[in-house]
Structure 1
Amino acid sequence: MENLAVKFSAVTLVLSMMISVASCGKNPGKNVRKVSEDSPWFDANIIEFETGADKEKSINYGNNSFAGSDEKYYVVSTSGEYENLGEFDYDKQYDNNLYFVSVVDRKTNETVRVIDLKKDFSKFEHFIDTVYYSDEIITARTGMYERNYDPNTGLLLAERKRGEKTNAGNAGDEEPSFSKFYKVGDYNIELISFQMNDNRFYYNIKIKAPDGKVNTVEVKRIDKSINIPAVLAVDDTKALVPVRIKNDTEYYELDLTSGEMILSDSKDYEWMDSSAFFTAVPGPDGMMYYKASHGISRLNAKTKAIEEVFKYSWCDLNEGLISNFELIECSEDRILLCGLYDSSSTYEGQKIDKGHLIEFTRAEKNPNAGKIILELYTPRGINEITGEAISIFNENNAQCFIEISSRYDRSDYYDSYAYDDKNYDVEELARIRGSAGLSNRLAIDIMNGEGPDILMDVSSYGQLNNQNCLVDLSPYLKDLKSDKYFTNIIEGSKTEGKLYQLPVSFYIEGIMTKTKNVGSSGKGFTFDEYTKFIYDTGNGKDPIYFGQSVYFAMLFNYMKDEFIANGKVYLSNEKFAQIADFVRDNVREEGGSSNEQDPNSIPQAVYKDYCGGIGGYFAEGMSVASWGLGVTIAGLPSFDGRGPRFIPTCSVAVSAQASDIKACAEFVNVLLSDEIQTKIAMNDSFVTSREAFKKAGESAIQYYSNGGNLTNGGNGYSSSGFGREFTSEDVAFVEKIILSCSQIKTEDSDISIILIEEMPAYFLGQKDLDAVIKIAQNRIQKVLDERG
């Protein structure tokens, strides 16, 4: 505790000094950047091909995967599962699986052949393990058979039962799991993975020389499983082979002429991005190209440097869609991706009858040259609907251009390894500390005029919610009437009357239980009501699985408007004492596991921190009552029985130092437009627009009444529909729950850390409450004062 406190004080001291500098040298004009004349730009050509899937059927899930190419064809495999709109039949559970291979002509971009792989399945085959194309042969492997197909005719050429002799060169009887193909200079390389009986993996590297001779190199550890994600070109006759063993990586140089592998010093490759190995493809220049966070980069082994090749914002397509595509060919001036460029919604029925190849070629000039760059930051990445909103803005705004920021690496602040399956507090504390670090960094940069212009998905960073960091969006929003929008969501997002963070879509957090169990307010619990609820309904178990200090910080943030206002903190009051006494008397010292929420041990009570969408809501409710009937989400325990909180799944804010605040506000309004709000809602998500919610609700009635899959939307668990007619009353019931939401879930992580450090002294009887309050209040007030 003492070390953390010292570290915290040092951080706040540095922060306060930087804030003072920022406030004295504030530059409303900011350092405005513009798209230069020589900024890269790529033209895009979308090649649509037939996948073979039934265009009349919707899918539960689907995927395109690149199988290989040569000078004549691109070959792509398509897999997925059609929706089951009838009663579940165990004997026919695999009938809806789909497996096709498409052969696309490189010159004409036409689909010349589609092969239905299922037609050759035996009675006991249900899944495809891998599909690849090499030496003018398409190979498809299941768990039982390996089959070869002619790409020109689609005819089955050969069939081999797995376990029979292969030409993969393995020393034992193991079957190859998958193959990857590379070209280094004039050498063709096949990387073949094998899984042994004890589930350990080893690899063969099959090298085909220019003269046709084949040499096979086995890479195997006697007692350890290994993973070789890729083979990387060093020069025309030498390749780099990274061998991963658990969390460590060894690097070997492979001489392609002799097959000799020599262990290299791993320090020579510390410059590499290890994530590159999993998506790397060789370029014509011998370098390896790979998908980075916001585009494509390459590994230059000669200069030992990572070089940016392409950013998704260097084209006019939807970043949220193309970022999910597979990289299949790449050079400095040409890029080819494979995937599904489709944004059909859950309620409409998602289809997979069309697949897409996208060819990017470098343009002579950038059509956006001269526009002001608006930097947009999000810690979550860009999804397809946000990507569409960005595309709409960039296409229609003549003065500004939104560019995605990659300056802030979330892993620099969050400990992704902090986990204890028996104590959820460990993960939650890591999240709080990570939020404190990143929000401090953003606050400093913003107030120094160096931060992003637009910030998305940072609504949980309560420290930013002030006029020094963010713009009050209220004056820029029009027609926010209660018949068109959920105004309680907008009002519940305000800080001291200012709308710094606007929810675009959201989850609901609270206690999922039967309506009859909720307190007298009808939407939440007082502390006394919740104590009774724990013992009467929960069999003495609280469905909230946090320990005392984290639980207390959560409740404090739930009611923080009672304790912090106008830059002042007030803890010496009865309400603060109510929270402290409730936690001391009813909450365990350390957290438990979220897996403890077994309906059999805590009947009719589940804590839900992420419940979203109409279908998702009812699917979640099935853990409490049949088909989720009569189930609601109530607020956390409080002194006034207030309603549940909402957690933005997408939010937007504008920097107080933005280059063009008005233009940023125009983007905010794009996110609130009927078009974008409806598209989000149609994917079984809660949105700020009440009209979009109702419109999507009408589609949800049709979708679920006809057997729509609950797994597709929200975060539900059912693999089929409701099992009953879904009606407008169901939609109205969910709408009522949304209207009961009281406020946004946000926190000032620095303040949460102080409370988590100081309150245990009271819970454990080491200090009385007044003594703890005095210390905590002084520390919190100091933080608030230093921020100004």
Structure 2
Amino acid sequence: MKRHPFTQKIFAASLCFSIIIGCTACKKKTASDKRKREILESDTFFESEVHELKLPIDETKKIEYKSVDHVQFLGDIIIANYTLTYELPQSAFNPDSWEEIDWDAYNRSGIAKFSLDGEYLGDFRSGSDPSLILTIDNDGNLAMLETTYDEKTFMVNGANITFQDLSGNKIKEISLEMPSNPNLSYVSQMQFLPDGRIAVQYGFGGPLLIYDETGKHISDIDGIDRGIIGDIFEYNGKYYAFSIPNGSLTDIDYYIHEIDLQTGEMKPGKLTYAVTDPYALAFSEDGAYTTTPNGISKFDPVSGETEEILNWNQTDVNHSLLNSVMSSPKNENEINAIARQYSSNFIDDKYYSIRLKRAEKNPHAGKKIMYVGGIDLSGGFYDYMYEYNANTDNKTRIEAIDYAYSLEDGTSLDKKFQTNLTSRINLMILSGEAPDILVNFAGFDQYANDNMLVDLNTYIDGKNGLDRSEYFDNIFRSMEVNGKLYYAPMSFNLRGYMANSEYIQAESDWTFEDLDKAASSLPDGVELMPPEESSKLLEFYMGSDLTTYMDYANKKVNFNSEGMVKVLEEAKKYGAKEDLSDREFLSGISTVSSYGGLDVYDTEDLNAIVEGFKPIVKIADYLRHGTAAMIYARIDSLNDYTLFKGIPYGKGKYLGFPTLQGNGILAYAVESMAIVADSPYKDEAWEIIRSFYSSEAQSTITTKGLSSFPLKTSVFDDNMTAEQDKISKAYDAIQEEFSMGRESSCLIFPVTDEDIDELREIIKGVKCSYHTDAAVMDVIMEEAPGYFT
């Protein structure tokens, strides 16, 4: 049979994993604590000042759109390109009132100036034309690029740059020479290079045209497979730039290239995991500086290596501000940085100036250190850490590392990231070098035993525990392994399929037998689901609980069992038979700045507005148009539930992934914490974990952080009430637009009390959560394609 070679390989692999499991699950010798545990006066520390950069906002109007970009240092000031659009008054929709409206008052763009202390110093230039590209040249003058377009092709056919001094006096104007066969959609950015040449990019990731200082066209940099992103920078007399793949909206990786400005050659690139946001880079004569939530590092474009020059734990800056930071070291003792704090609707994003100065002595000397290591640590956790460390009564200080940005394992862009990380954490636990608290490792069952982690049920049910009746206790229970809770979930979401109940009448805890029955009864023209790779279905159908196939206690992996064979057969049966690489699959669910930043179902044909990419297929359209009976649906909120339910014209029914045992809808811990068994601070660690179950903390992490559901039922009720009101206002706003004849491609569906009751009952009915083993899944995913072909 075709599956025979595959099951043989899996069986062979299982022998190897038996050894790994044996190492992690057997009784280990207690490792001595090898972490540094006390802060010394001589330890590096930087004093900090944080100042918000506030744009000039007309508080009498409501912002409809706000964009801030190219925030950068210019000597001892900070400059920022911005565009502001305010909501128009109702009179704007009456042609008889147009002459009375001051249109410029509702649109404003310019380059704002700020001091390093955050004080607004006015604009270099302001106006109402958001299409202008504004920047500063090498002499500190304002450069404004304006483009003209062909009336037939709508492509750029001309561009001029006007230079002004900071007092607004015109210095000169140059015209940029257009290439002989221009196919340029729009200008996305302009940059003045150190040698005086000018780089102008046409479109995101589009061609980059190089000009001399008179506007003469020198060369084009336009890769066939990859496009330039971010600024060009100079290092040791050579120019470099980062690139992303052309034609893809989802498969993003970053390469670093040497660039020949004279010929336009983009030399073969090198994959780099050291940079996850090219727009957050700062450049100097000794290279590029990249900043992450962990710290500031110098990046060498030749070797691809980084050298950390500051760790944010060496400051008192709130880490929740540090998701997107550009740092500019002045010298080894002074560092300036610009931080962007994202909001759910993008309009309320905030920018901060951070000033760091090396201290003579570490002010926290004498305090003990408690270590936290996690994946994608949230703003909610960092806010708690900031307050905890600021409390002088606490004798310990929390130091945190986010492994998603730790280059020891690659970054989260690396396909082997989870495997590398979990292997390293395993070794750290065994050697006594692990953090005291692990954050967001829920479901990684290779650590789920008493020798490696603490059973948190003993704390929940202990003296300073929790009242289980106040929480969704079934969610706690769903996370258990052999009756023990090694990872405490702080918040969670739901994973499964949203089905059209007209076609599928199964219960939420359906099995493969139910799946086959439903598939065989579908009418002509209706597929079971949108095209999906068999390997992805395999992950859905077995990834819900890998402990079904492995026994950590007895060190056995049962991949050659009848159950595994059945899962493979189902994944192959319903997986796509055609090549899916020629198209781009998007969910069809978008977050918009209007309507309160809610997710909406976007009905617009993206292929008509997005050029240069693969054909776009929206998954939600299959459910809306009745061409598929169900689609994958991750539910993070009430809006998600009513949105997916409403897409098939209100006939949506939420189901779990079909499995051998009928596990039902899965809970997935969005945020979780675990205590390492050898930590000397177990009780202190539990107090930190317990604090996240307070009403205030539960509300904060589920409404101001990643959208998710709280464990505390009273907070769930409060969140539902607030979200119902928010959705109702957005729904009314969209309906008003329709009534006024204004077009909108956004759909939101009204919420009833019955919807909230349904969602609550769905959550109460959850009995399983996501469990996995990164190393085992890697082997399966590498070998499975051989079975499916």
Normalized against structure 2, the TM-score is what? 0.72
Alignment match, 1:27: 31
Q: Does 1:533 align with 2:537?
A: no
- Are residues 603 and 362 of structure 1, via their aligned partners in 2, closer, same or farther at CA, if it must alter by over 3 Å? same
**In the aligned structure 2, how far is the partner of 1:585 from the partner of 1:369?**
60
Per-residue CA deviations over 1:37-58 (Å, capped at 9, x if unaligned) read 2222222222234313344777
CA distance in 1, matches of 2:732, 2:385: 30
Q: 1:442 aligns with which of 425, 430, 434?
A: 425
Q: 1:335 to 1:217 in 2, by over 3 A?
A: farther
The Cα shift of 1:470 comes to 1.7
| Post-superposition offset of 1:642 | 4.3
> Partners in 1 of 2:266 and 2:537 — Cα distance?
50
Letter in 1 for 2:210: Y
Is 1:334 the counterpart of 2:327? The answer is no
Q: Measure, in 2, the Cα distance between the counterparts of 1:737 and 1:388.
A: 31
CA contact (8 A) 2:11 2:560 kept: no
Aligned residue runs from structure 1 range 505-524, under 5 A? 505-514=491-500, 522-524=507-509
Write the mapping of 1:353-368 to structure 2, written as runs, cut at 5 A: 355-368=351-364
| 3-state DSSP of counterpart to 1:499 | coil
Q: Which moved more, 1:44-53 or 1:405-414?
A: 405-414
Matched residue type, 1:672? Y
Q: Is the Cα–Cα contact under 8 Å of residues 378 and 455 in structure 1 kept in the other structure?
A: yes
CA contact (8 A) 1:69 1:75 kept: yes
How far the C-alpha of 1:492 sits from its partner, in A, is 0.6
CA contact (8 A) 1:113 1:151 kept: no
1:686 aligns with 2:673: no
**Is 1:739 aligned to residue 722 of structure 2?**
no
**Paired amino acid for 1:503:** P
Counterpart in the other structure of 2:529:
543
- CA deviation string 1:696-738 (max 9, x = no partner): 2222122222227999xxxxxx9757364x4444333322222
Deviations 1:515-546 (A, max 9, x none): 676656x5332444333322335756332855
State whether residues 509 and 665 of structure 2, in contact with CA within 8 Å, keep that contact through their aligned partners in structure 1. Answer: yes
Match of 1:707 among 726, 730, 738: 730
Matched, 1:383 2:378: yes
Give the aligned residue type for 1:671.
F
Tell me the alpha carbon deviations over residues 464-520 of structure 1, each in whole angstroms, 9 at most, x when there is no partner: 222222221223335644553221211111111111122222221111124676656
Residue of structure 1 equivalent to 2:721: 698
TM-score normalised by the chain length of structure 1: 0.72
Q: Work out the CA distance in 2 between the residues paired with 1:279 and 1:198.
A: 16
| Aligned counterparts of 1:616 and 1:742: Cα–Cα separation in 2 | 21
Q: Is the 8 A contact 1:44 1:359 kept in 2?
A: yes
- Tell me how large the CA RMSD over aligned residues is: 5.3
Query: 1:549: how far off?
Result: 6.6
| Structure 1 residue 14 displacement after superposition | 6.8
Render the CA deviation track for 1:249-294: whole Å, top value 9, x for unaligned.
554799xxxxx99999999x999957797544345x8554332562
Q: Which amino acid aligns with 2:237?
A: A
For each residue in 1:390-447, what CA deviation from the matched residue of structure 2 results, as whole angstroms up to 9, or x when unmatched?
2233334322322215598579579968xxxxxxxxxxxx6xx764454333223212
Aligned to 1:120: 128
1:240 is matched with: 238
Match of 1:769 in 2: none
Q: Does the 8 A contact of 1:71 with 1:106 survive in 2?
A: no
- Deviates most, 450-459 or 97-106: 97-106
Tell me how far 1:25 sits from its aligned partner. 3.4
Match of 1:654 in 2: 675
Q: Aligned AA for 2:764?
A: L
User: Helix, strand or coil for the counterpart of 1:65?
Assistant: strand
Alignment of 1:281-680 (within 5 A): 281-283=282-284, 288-292=288-292, 294-299=294-299, 306-327=306-327, 330-341=330-341, 351=348, 355-379=351-375, 381-396=376-391, 397-404=394-401, 412=409, 435-477=418-460, 480-481=466-467, 484-514=470-500, 522-537=507-522, 541-543=527-529, 551=537, 554-558=540-544, 567-568=553-554, 576=563, 579=566, 583=570, 587-588=574-575, 597=619, 598-599=622-623, 603=627, 605-608=629-632, 610-625=634-649, 629-638=650-659, 641-680=662-701
Determine the structure 1 residue equivalent to 2:607: none
Alignment deviations for residues 104-153 of structure 1 (CA, whole Å, 9 cap, x no partner): 45387532325895x533xxxx6455544764544454654868697877
Other-structure match for 1:722: 748
* Cα shift at 1:299: 4.8
Q: Distance in 2 between matches of 1:318 and 1:709?
A: 38
Contact 2:292 2:405 in 1 (8 A): no
Contact 1:51 1:355 (8 Å CA) reproduced? no
- Residue 128 of structure 2 aligns to which amino acid in structure 1? D
Aligned 8 A contact 1:279 1:290 in 2: yes
- Distance in 2 (CA, whole Å) between partners of 1:10 and 1:253 is 52
> In the aligned structure 2, how far is the partner of 1:9 from the partner of 1:44?
52
Aligned length: 700
Structure 1 runs not aligned, ≥5 long:
207-213, 255-259, 418-429, 712-717, 765-788
Tell me how far 1:220 sits from its aligned partner. 4.4
**Distance in structure 1 (CA, Å) of the matches to 2:287 and 2:783:** 54
Letter in 1 for 2:717: K
Provide closer, same or farther for how the CA distance between residues 639 and 372 of structure 1 changes in structure 2, counting only shifts above 3 A.
same
Q: Match of 1:315, as an amino acid? A: T
The Cα offsets for residues 541-597 of structure 1, whole Å up to 9 and x where unpaired, read as 332855667645643443656666672469799994995597289545869856584
In 2, Cα distance between the equivalents of 1:159 and 1:746?
A: 65
Q: Distance in 1 between matches of 2:656 and 2:407?
A: 30
Instruction: Kindly provide the amino acid, as one letter, of the partner of residue 701 in structure 2.
Output: I
Tell me, yes or no, if the aligned pair for 1:63 and 1:339 is still in contact at 8 Å. Answer: no
1:178 partnered with 2:173: no
The one-letter code sitting in structure 2 at the alignment partner of 1:281 is A
Q: Is the 8 A contact 1:139 1:147 kept in 2?
A: yes
C-alpha distance in structure 2 between counterparts of 1:517 and 1:85, whole Å = 46
1:177 is displaced (CA, Å) by 5.1
Secondary structure, in 3 states, of the residue corresponding to 1:513?
strand
Does the Cα contact within 8 Å between 1:15 and 1:444 map onto a contact in 2?
Answer: no
String of CA shifts for 1:606-650, please: whole Å, max 9, x gaps. Answer: 33253311223323334322xxx4533211224665430022222
> Aligned residue for 1:210?
none
Secondary structure at the counterpart of residue 82 of structure 2: strand
Paired residue secondary structure (1:706) = helix
- Output the amino acid matched with 1:319: H
Q: Letter of the 2:380 partner, please give it.
A: I
Q: For residue 782 of structure 1, what is the aligned residue in structure 2?
A: none
The worse-fitting range, judged by mean Cα deviation, of 522-531 and 222-231 is 222-231
Quick one: structure 1 residues 106 and 551, their matched pair in 2 at CA, closer, same or farther if it must change by over 3 Å? closer
Q: Secondary structure at the match of 1:730?
A: helix
- Residue 192 in 1 paired to residue 175 in 2? no
Task: Tell me how far apart the structure 2 counterparts of residues 566 and 576 of structure 1 sit (CA, whole Å).
Answer: 18
